[in-house]
A and B are shown apart, each in its own frame.
Chain A
Amino acid sequence: MKLQDMYQEIILDHYRNPHGRGLRDPFDAEVHHVNPTCGDEVTLRVKVDGDTLTDVSYEGQGCSISQASVSAMYDLVVGRSVTAALATGEDFVRLMQAKGDTTVADELEDSLEDAVAFAGVSKYPARVKCALMSWMALKDASARAWTPSDPTPTTEESA
């Protein structure tokens, strides 16, 4: 049944017991993203040391897909280099554009781990934005906290 394809048990687990939730100090950049068609929101902070995303913390409200997505993202990116995290984000975007094509999911399984469970979401265009919101927030926050040419974090956003 299609509905179970989208609401995988892994997704519902992340929704009910989110990983890494809560806003933490210190941080280098904070962003607030909303999905204006439905009002889902996420506030997300990143802490970058050198090239490494040492913490991603967040608060948000929204549907199971948007909330599970940010939790699964937390597991995937914390402790990785910013470059690797953003590359994973690009894989996630590809997964969301797959329109349910399972070969894309198979190909991305190593990169996306748990988050490959979101493959079913790509069959529902109206929900893709829910799943992508946190990844867009991460990209935005990373860009504010870190530049590839100058790996020193800028701290102006953290006031």
Chain B
Amino acid sequence: MTATAPAPATGRTPLPLDVEAVRADFPILGRTVRDGKRLVYLDSGATSQKPRQVLDAERWFYENVNAAPHRGAHALAEEATEAYEQARATIASFIGAQTDEVVFTRNSTEAINLVAYAMSNAVTAKEPEFHRYAVGQGDEIVVTEMEHHANLIPWQQLCERTGATLRWLGLTDEGRLDLSDLDTVVNERTKLVTVTQQSNILGTLPPLAPIIERAHAVGALVMVDGAQSVPHQPVDVAALGADFLVFSGHKMLGPTGVGVLWGRSEVLAALPPFLTGGSMIEVVRMEGSTFAPPPQRFEAGVPMTAQVVGLAAACDYLTALGMDTVFAHEEALTEYALAQLQAIPGVTVIGPPDTVARGGAISFTVDGIHPHDVGQVLDDQGVAVRVGHHCAWPVVRRMGVPATTRATFYVHTGYDDVDALVEAVRHAQRFFGVDAVEEA
């Protein structure tokens, strides 16, 4: 069947990472799915698989030092505190941050909510030093149309609680950020601008420098959503110049249940707490209490210690591979996948069609087949992708599609995975009888 033969394997530059060696570190990649098919895992954007080194670190913690950190004076408590704080230092250095600027949260979602709630808690805080970032009527919060729901709803809710106004930067038809009205959308009333560093659905890498420059020129804070960037490209908070960065451990080879809020120390110092309770206090009296300095002020309760240790192991693993190399690896795969997918009649890439200012999330539609049905046929071939609106409903609405199929890559992804994806898409077209129609 020449009409459906795979396109010639052009554009296959040698991959920067040794895929077979990396795969050997990921136990789950050894399993099969759907009646013995090799697992082709192209859903790292939703959550990443974990290398043995990360699993070993968590097991090491539980088997050797498990105790509640920052409590008690016994040997294990001391060692657990040491392991927890050592991990904080490793994770901070991974993003070029000072150690006490790293706050552990459950995930990116919680990190974003922490800041949004701190800004409304600031309105009623009894401490005058916590009023600096209070948000109220007449103030504006700026988001973009490209955000994951995690970086949209908390700000909608903040505005509803405080009477502030939500504004946003729009998208171009190609799925890039439209900065033409940056200077009017971000203005003297703006309190905070928040923007993703890599779109989870379109793959776009928006230009952050002009946004951060404009926001700071009008005295606004800037948050960068690094949930899809920190796992896939070098990120250095000093070079970035933002005030907050959030990311999730589970998307960067680490465990679930741990995420990070990085905040500039003088900004964190001026924010009231979000969650309150044990660990985050200075002095407690029945009449009222005072709070610890950051990061403890934002870490109420016994933390996810083993997961933090696991995340540090993930950072070590990525550092050993080299984040420049990780980015180059995914860029090579993205270039190849974009070419192969766009060579299939009826397939449309939703988002930037080339690798310019683009990461490795590739969304696409297949004429005549709904994304759920594409995903089902792919799954039957062992190819795991995500389908739907990818928690970015305004993006699919703006791009004029009901939903997309999305493939995302990571350190264990090879050309064979992309080939499997491409072949499975062609198989879906044959299965639903839309291949001939398209090529006629």
A binding-site residues for B, Cβ under 8 Å: 1-3, 6-7, 12, 37-40, 61-65, 124, 127, 130
CA distance A64 to B372 in the complex (A): 8
List CB contacts (< 8 Å) of B151-205 with chain A.
none
Looking at the assembled complex, report how far the CB atom of B404 sits from the nearest CB atom of chain A, in whole angstroms: 10
Q: Give the contacting residue for A3; candidates B376, B389, B396; CB below 8 A.
A: B376
Nearest CB to that of B389 among chain A residues? A39
Q: A2-B34, A3-B376, A38-B387 given as contacts; is B431 within 8 A of A64 (CB)?
A: no
User: What residues of B have a CB within 8 angstroms of the CB of A127 in the complex?
Assistant: 372, 376
**CB atoms of B388 and A64 under 8 A apart:** no
User: What residues of A have a CB within 8 angstroms of the CB of B403 in the complex?
Assistant: 38-39
B18 within 8 A of A: no
Bitwise interface map of B from 362 to 381 toward A, beta carbon under 8 Å scored 1, else 0: 00000000111100110010
Looking at the assembled complex, report how far the CB atom of B45 sits from the nearest CB atom of chain A, in whole angstroms: 16
B393 within 8 A of A: yes
**CB atoms of A62 and B370 under 8 A apart:** yes
B binding-site residues for A, Cβ under 8 Å: 34-35, 370-373, 376-377, 380, 387-389, 393, 396, 402-403, 431-432
Residue contacts A-B, CB under 8 angstroms, 7 given: A3-B431, A38-B387, A38-B389, A39-B396, A63-B373, A64-B373, A65-B372
Looking at the assembled complex, report how far the CB atom of B287 sits from the nearest CB atom of chain A, in whole angstroms: 45
**CB atoms of B376 and A37 under 8 A apart:** no
CA distance A69 to B431 in the complex (A): 20
Looking at the assembled complex, report how far the CB atom of B15 sits from the nearest CB atom of chain A, in whole angstroms: 31
CA distance A33 to B372 in the complex (A): 18
**CB atoms of B34 and A38 under 8 A apart:** no
A37-B388, A38-B403, A40-B402 are known; give 17 further A-B pairs, CB within 8 A.
A2-B34, A2-B380, A3-B377, A3-B431, A7-B373, A38-B372, A38-B387, A39-B396, A39-B402, A39-B403, A61-B402, A62-B372, A63-B372, A64-B370, A64-B373, A64-B432, A127-B376
CA distance A62 to B396 in the complex (A): 14
User: What residues of A have a CB within 8 angstroms of the CB of B370 in the complex?
Assistant: 62-64
User: What residues of A have a CB within 8 angstroms of the CB of B432 in the complex?
Assistant: 12, 64
CA distance A40 to B387 in the complex (A): 12
User: What residues of B have a CB within 8 angstroms of the CB of A64 in the complex?
Assistant: 370, 372-373, 432
CA distance A37 to B372 in the complex (A): 11
CA distance A65 to B376 in the complex (A): 11
Q: A62-B372, A63-B371 given as contacts; is B393 within 8 A of A39 (CB)?
A: yes
**CB atoms of A62 and B377 under 8 A apart:** no
Looking at the assembled complex, report how far the CB atom of B370 sits from the nearest CB atom of chain A, in whole angstroms: 4
User: What residues of A have a CB within 8 angstroms of the CB of B396 in the complex?
Assistant: 39
**CB atoms of B376 and A38 under 8 A apart:** no
**CB atoms of B387 and A124 under 8 A apart:** no
CA distance A37 to B389 in the complex (A): 8
Looking at the assembled complex, report how far the CB atom of B108 sits from the nearest CB atom of chain A, in whole angstroms: 19
